[in-house]
A and B are shown apart, each in its own frame.
Chain A
């Protein structure tokens, strides 16, 4: 695929952008990546900086992806979706090292795009790859999402109340899902619902929901920033009419959420009203959804942990040229010890988090998925990222023309999503306690 900015504009861009010319932090990562991974990182970096970074500020300000540019398609053309999907389904058949590299570089360009990308490629696609049967894996060019948490079931996700009642041919789902990243724009969702409310965690089943399935249409509820109704095939339309007669059922997305950070990464509430899901759309086995969910969470945490790494790198990209150029007391502020101390802390936080994330990624690629390490990397990286982002705010950083405010707001999400820091600590502590 072609690049967007010709060389002469790229030369001019460093002066024009707020990042400055030599904005590449030459951080030594020689032991972390092999040659191919370095090349891939370099390539994704170029792509992200040219195709995604210019839109980052606008995405944040307007709270949606840019209208004129199809970022999902661009990322798809770059083979970024389905990095971990097997080659026979059109994926790259690569491991979590590559997935984390892609996540890092995209987050470095824009936290919101990174989060949406992570949700799509890991939460949805990866789950389908790991648990789907061959028919389910024939996934097309759809944006994916994961629906697990509910308005009343956040950290206590197993207490979810969304019900899936067995009916002829499948299940009927009723309930609400909250904080669903990519919800408004997703065509394919992995949804967890209780097939057996009394059985607690053993009553959860995972389903694949698709827009365009008999029964989907936008409803009066879908007001703020809603999706365009999908073009439903005639057959589906007829089925829908028929089903309408028999059931009054809908799956709709409601209220796109207005968030502190990660703005533009569409998040919303999902409403299921007698939504029919056929048998073939069960992911894994009935009642075994909790395994799909929990093991998915481990890898989700790993891949998302690369997000704060990208954000920390973006902080350094912004801060280093600034401290070289901003002068006070007759000298560039980068010459003052307190500033140097801050930069040193930022740098070491980044490098240590990065080493942790990628070594755990390598372990996962080798088949050793350790629950406490996966929780550990995102716990560590997210908290460091929030600190690093705080440190790079100065007087000018407080102004929204600079990216630093957005970086701080975006970084904060990683302490909350995919299990709050508190939950992560509990998981790690519990695992350590169990191990004898």
Chain B
């Protein structure tokens, strides 16, 4: 069985993000980029499933410009067997939104025919938390999102997924093929050790474009402006409840 893992190249979690002066987006030039942390967890889970014998091959995929190949190389250095790079140059005014990403991943999945697709639950740049769910919908496959534990039964072709939900942990059983999105406590990703970095150099990265996959990624949404949130002002100490009501009604306008 093959496992497809989708990874995304994002601004590194430790970087203090700034808005560009022309307010078209976030500053990404000369800023450290790395693999989305949830995607790292997804790759790790796929590798563990392969090491446990539940899968034969782990394929990493990403959508992005040429530099996104670095993210694929990281996945390969962690242990993925090969990779697919869907080339797409980002346009800040019309960024690639989850629906388009899901459509592309659907095309890749139909080509690769994996038994399982694992993604991070969300990307730390847009925090959408939609791609996995949309992908499952487009493929008409069952989904196990916010996974904190995954158990694969190869013979029965089933996956038991424990999900972190508001009320606690929900355990569901999915018939394969299925889509799983990873949550933080699923595992701790491994380091890419030097022997694996060396081995990754000879692993294959297949390059395709959205046109090759017959996917229309035109977006109906256009980004008009990106601004910083208003700077947090100091608090005010009020003298009475009446004053509070007055401020809530007239200044904050929430009543």
Q: Which of A36-44, A107-115, A351-359, A427-435 contacts B (4 or more CB under 8 A)?
A: A36-44
Q: Which of B8-16, B108-116, B125-133, B239-247 contacts A (4 or more CB under 8 A)?
A: B8-16
Q: Which of B172-180, B182-190, B220-228 contacts A (4 or more CB under 8 A)?
A: B182-190
Counting CB contacts under 8 A, is A234 at the interface? no
Q: Which of A7-15, A171-179, A379-387, A391-399 contacts B (4 or more CB under 8 A)?
A: A7-15
Number of interface residues of B (CB under 8 A): 28
Counting CB contacts under 8 A, is B32 at the interface? yes
Counting CB contacts under 8 A, is B151 at the interface? no
Select A6's contact among B30, B32, B184, B198, beta carbons within 8 Å.
B184
Select A43's contact among B15, B30, B184, B191, beta carbons within 8 Å.
B191
The 4 closest A-B pairs by CB, nearest first: A7-B37, A22-B16, A43-B192, A39-B197
Select A26's contact among B30, B41, B184, B195, beta carbons within 8 Å.
B30
Across-interface contacts of B193 in A (CB, < 8 A): 1, 43, 77-79
Counting CB contacts under 8 A, is B194 at the interface? yes
Closest chain A CB from B201 CB (angstroms): 6
Counting CB contacts under 8 A, is A47 at the interface? yes
Counting CB contacts under 8 A, is A226 at the interface? no
Closest chain B CB from A134 CB (angstroms): 22
Counting CB contacts under 8 A, is B62 at the interface? no
Counting CB contacts under 8 A, is B145 at the interface? no
The reply to whether B197 and A6 contact each other, CB–CB distance below 8 Å, is no
List 21 A-B residue pairs with CB atoms under 8 Å apart, sorted by A's residue number.
Answer: A1-B193, A2-B189, A3-B188, A3-B191, A4-B188, A6-B184, A7-B38, A7-B40, A10-B13, A11-B13, A21-B14, A22-B14, A24-B12, A24-B15, A39-B73, A77-B193, A78-B193, A80-B194, A92-B194, A92-B198, A98-B194
Identify 19 new A-B residue pairs, CB closer than 8 A, beyond the known A21-B15, A46-B191, A79-B193: A1-B190, A2-B189, A7-B13, A7-B37, A10-B14, A11-B13, A21-B16, A22-B14, A24-B15, A39-B73, A39-B77, A39-B192, A39-B197, A43-B193, A77-B193, A78-B194, A79-B195, A80-B194, A94-B194
Counting CB contacts under 8 A, is B181 at the interface? no
Q: When each residue 1-33 of chain B gets 1 if its CB lies under 8 Å from chain A and 0 otherwise, what string results?
A: 000000000001111100000000000001110
The reply to whether A14 and B14 contact each other, CB–CB distance below 8 Å, is yes
Counting CB contacts under 8 A, is B122 at the interface? no
Counting CB contacts under 8 A, is A35 at the interface? yes
Counting CB contacts under 8 A, is B74 at the interface? yes
The reply to whether B188 and A39 contact each other, CB–CB distance below 8 Å, is no
The reply to whether B41 and A7 contact each other, CB–CB distance below 8 Å, is yes
Across-interface contacts of B190 in A (CB, < 8 A): 1-3
Number of interface residues of A (CB under 8 A): 30
> What is the chain B residue whose CB lies nearest that of A7?
B37
What CA separation (Å) do A21 and B197 show in the bound complex? 27
What CA separation (Å) do A40 and B190 show in the bound complex? 14
> What is the chain B residue whose CB lies nearest that of A44?
B194
Counting CB contacts under 8 A, is A71 at the interface? no
What CA separation (Å) do A11 and B37 show in the bound complex? 10
The reply to whether B191 and A24 contact each other, CB–CB distance below 8 Å, is no
The reply to whether B188 and A2 contact each other, CB–CB distance below 8 Å, is yes
Q: When each residue 328-364 of chain A gets 1 if its CB lies under 8 Å from chain B and 0 otherwise, what string results?
A: 0000000000000000000000000000000000000
The reply to whether B12 and A39 contact each other, CB–CB distance below 8 Å, is no
The verdict on A79 contacting B185 (CB below 8 Å), with A7-B13, A24-B14, A24-B32 known, is no
Counting CB contacts under 8 A, is A23 at the interface? yes
What CA separation (Å) do A249 and B195 show in the bound complex? 43
Closest chain A CB from B205 CB (angstroms): 13
What CA separation (Å) do A47 and B77 show in the bound complex? 15
Closest chain B CB from A109 CB (angstroms): 14
The verdict on A47 contacting B13 (CB below 8 Å), with A7-B41, A26-B30 known, is no
Across-interface contacts of B192 in A (CB, < 8 A): 39, 43
What CA separation (Å) do A77 and B190 show in the bound complex? 12
> What is the chain A residue whose CB lies nearest that of B187?
A2
What CA separation (Å) do A35 and B27 show in the bound complex? 24
Closest chain A CB from B51 CB (angstroms): 13
What CA separation (Å) do A227 and B164 show in the bound complex? 48
Across-interface contacts of B12 in A (CB, < 8 A): 24
The reply to whether B73 and A35 contact each other, CB–CB distance below 8 Å, is yes
What CA separation (Å) do A8 and B193 show in the bound complex? 22
The reply to whether B197 and A23 contact each other, CB–CB distance below 8 Å, is no
Across-interface contacts of A78 in B (CB, < 8 A): 191, 193-194
* Residue among A7, A26, A83, A94 with the highest chain B CB neighbour number at 10 A: A7
Across-interface contacts of B74 in A (CB, < 8 A): 39
